[in-house]
Structure 1
């Protein structure tokens, strides 16, 4: 075998490898964005900062997560309305949003046993007395 054949074989192998890798990358379908409307979320982030400041100024703990029982207890006053977003960073298909309204002392526990074990972010957005709040907590189920 001479140099010419060796170079041609090397180029053919290299091109075949590149075509194979590009084909694999194009067929990949499990790529998930954090949010579909990323740029719109970024523009509205100042409102989010104000909600976080409001939540940090509260003199009580907003939620407790019990890892043994796999449940979340909200400590919000009656009349609070909001959304609990269970965010799975590794797979957006597992995300869940739960709307809630606190009507009394017993209406503030949420069972998380049905969620896939692993790392989750619990994003709590609520309003009480016309003021909006946001609290985020990282949990492992």
Structure 2
């Protein structure tokens, strides 16, 4: 059987479309290629963005900001030594960009100027840490990215 050039073009188009459709269906149905949105409530967080910018500007007025150290037990967040740790309240949010199932939040509960995030809760890889805290009715925020 001889195939003319018109039939060859149609066969090429059908083969190409089938090839593309195979990859589209594979990528959208296979759990291995699953992706998560950055956040479920994107627009709600966008409205809070200006408030976070104000907290960041206010954090720059501190003599020293929060620092962190990687230890054997986990990540140690060190709050400024020149303020009374008993009046610090807030929360620490750890965000895992690669998988939202590993995200978690812990309240700030200090017995000294240090807060330990346990090693057993942290997997190796990138983490975004946000410390949203208040001291004597003044709001502050500290954001950093670490690779654990």
If the length of structure 1 is used for normalisation, what is the TM-score?
0.85
Offset of 1:107 from its aligned partner?
A: 6.3
Equivalent residue number for residue 80 of structure 1: 88
Equivalent residue number for residue 95 of structure 1: 103
Equivalent residue number for residue 40 of structure 1: 44
Equivalent residue number for residue 117 of structure 1: 124
- Structure 1 stretches lacking a partner, 5+ long: none
Aligned-partner Cα distance in 2 for 1:130–1:106: 18
Number of residue pairs aligned between Structure 1 and Structure 2 = 140
Aligned-partner Cα distance in 2 for 1:28–1:99: 37
| Higher RCO structure (Cα 8 Å, ≥6 apart) | 1
Please identify runs of 4+ aligned residues in structure 1 that moved more than 6 A.
none
If the length of structure 2 is used for normalisation, what is the TM-score?
0.81
Q: Which structure shows the higher helix fraction? A: 2
Q: RMSD between aligned alpha carbons?
A: 2.1
Aligned CA distance change for structure 1 residues 22 and 109 (closer, same or farther; 3 Å):
closer
